Amino acid sequence: MKKPWTGRFKGKTSKIAEHFTESISFDNRLWRYDIEGSIAHARMLGKQGIINKEDSEKIIKGLKEIAIEIESGKLKFRKELEDIHMNIEAILVRKIGEVGGKLHTARSRNDQVALDIRLYLREETGTIISLIKKFQETLLDIAKKHLNALMPGYTHLQRAQPVLLSHHILAYGEMLQRDKERFQDTLKRIDTLPLGASAIGGTAFPIDRTYIAKLLGFDDISQNSIDAVSDRDFAIEFLSDAAMLIMHLSRIAEELILWSTEEFRFIELPEAFTTGSSAMPQKKNPDVAELIRGKTGRVYGNLFALLTVMKGLPLSYNRDLQEDKLPLFDTVDTVKSCLHVMNEMFMGIKFNIKRLYETASEGYSTATDMAEYLVKKGLPFRRAHEVTGRIVLYCIRRNKKLDELTLRELNKFSPSISEDIYSFLRPEESVKGKKSLGSTSPEEVKRQITNFMRRLGDAETR
């Protein structure tokens, strides 16, 4: 097949230029969406009488046959035809003759590629949302299984207060909930039909864009043909959502890496998701979690790559937009694989409940509870904070825990302290004493679990 612009040119395109400008080596993954969009376009052309119905049906039949041949691996794409659109059109013309050339009536590669990307991202966004939900369900199961297990909560990576392990796990679930909602919201911007914008100014043919939108399941239709062919906001928004998601996965991975160290010993990672050392026989390395953390950088890079491509583009279509696909494809692949592997890894994690409790009992983690106890006894909080701080310093100098101090020792700091203080110094009493909505008390965590289950159920009905 000759290049579609040969009527204007006397000479041939340089082989070097062909190699430099081709995109079929990576946009071939769009073939299914390209055929889906072309079938809808052909149906519309026949319905509107722009081409006769016999030719429309012949084109549709040929496209369906091409889809089967591509699926079976029988067809090979040609680089000299640049992209997936020209390759499929060339195959169609070879298969059904010149009638195949009628398919491109009333459209351009500019609106065609915009359609393909939107169809692709719409499907992949749905898949990512499903993977997030699956991971949330795994986290919910872990939270329910370890409902009353205690662990130290941290700020500045220093032991802060006792919390329930289930409460900590549910914090991951909340991160993912926001990620899921962002992708769901982005779907509204992805789900807009650009086909019909043609090259830039629309077309003189009496096309029916509403009919095409219905065939392809689009909820909205682009309102400006110039914007339709040059817009990649939806792709940047998707990449931004992905960057947020991978950031959260990286934070989770970082905790798994820390918790699996000999210094923490909070968890044991499943052997199936760790590796050994080529030199040190004793090692069990958290390589999978480390790779999730490492892949975060490439997703960030993909977002900034497309932002940079777009920042200087005048309206409307420019060939620079060909550079939107690799960042998108790489991000989709990376995010899906990270979600899948993270979910599977979590299912095999063993929590060291004894170690978690012991650590929650150390480091003066109930000092805040002591300060709040003094407030209830009538001291202003700042005064209670100071008194508790001096008690902690006293303990540090004598290598004692808070609950190892006698009442006589405690009364040196405040006569308001009585025997009932000791119940406040146990980590299990600390978490039970929390009253605020969203806190780490067992009753609040049970409510959070119920609420989380409801939100996951609501997502299924959308």
Instruction: Enumerate domains of the chain plus CATH numbers.
Output: 15-105 (1.10.275.10), 110-148+170-196+223-352 (1.20.200.10), 359-461 (1.10.40.30)
d(CA 53, CA 60): 10
Structure tokens at 409: 């020792």
* pLDDT greater than 90 at residue 424: no
217-226 residue pLDDT tens: 999 999 999 9
Q: How confident is the model at residue 290 (pLDDT cuts 50, 70, 90)?
A: very high
CA atoms within 13 A of residue 5's CA, in its CB half-sphere: 8
Which whole number is the average pLDDT over 351-361?
A: 96
pLDDT, one tens digit per residue, over 2-11 is: 666 555 656 6
Query: What mean pLDDT, rounded, does the chain reach?
Result: 94
Instruction: Specify the pLDDT at position 363.
Output: 84
Distances (CA, A) of 344 to 21, 60, 253, 272: 40, 42, 13, 10
Quote the pLDDT of residue 1: 57
57 Cβ neighbours under 8 A, 6+ residues apart: 46
- Kindly report the pTM of this predicted structure: 0.93
**Do the beta carbons of residue 150 and residue 162 sit within 8 Å?**
yes
Query: DSSP code of 14?
Result: P
The catalytic residues are 156, 277
Percent pLDDT > 90 in the chain is 87
Are 300 and 293 in contact by the 8 Å Cβ rule? The answer is no
Span 110-136, average pLDDT: 98
In the DSSP assignment, the letter for residue 379 is -
Q: What is the pLDDT of residues 50-85, one digit of tens each?
A: 999 999 999 999 999 999 999 999 889 999 899 999
Rounded Cα distance between 45 and 211, Å, is: 10
User: With contact defined as beta carbons under 8 Å apart, do 127 and 38 qualify?
Assistant: no
Confidence of residue 461 (pLDDT cuts 50, 70, 90): very low
Q: Is the Cβ–Cβ distance between 46 and 55 less than 8 Å?
A: yes
List b or e across 68-89, with b for residues whose CB sees 16 or more CB atoms inside 10 angstroms. Answer: eebeeeebebeebbbbbbbbbb
Cβ atoms within 10 Å, residue 459: 17
- Express each pLDDT in 374-386 by its tens digit: 999 999 999 999 9
- The 3-state DSSP composition of the chain as helix, strand, coil percent (nearest 5) reads 65, 5, 30
Percentage above 70 pLDDT, the chain: 97
Read off the pLDDT of residues 233-289 as tens digits, 9 standing for 90 and up: 999 999 999 999 999 999 999 999 999 999 999 999 999 999 988 888 888 999 999
Least confidently predicted of 259-263, 432-436, 454-458: 454-458
Q: How far apart are CA 330 and CA 234, in angstroms?
A: 16
DSSP 8-state secondary structure symbol assigned to residue 426: S
For residue 25, pLDDT over 50 is answered with yes
Q: Beta 220-221 vs 192-193: how paired, if at all? A: parallel
Q: Tell me the torsion sign for CA atoms 171, 172, 176, 179.
A: positive
Assess contact for 70 and 84: CB atoms under 8 A: no
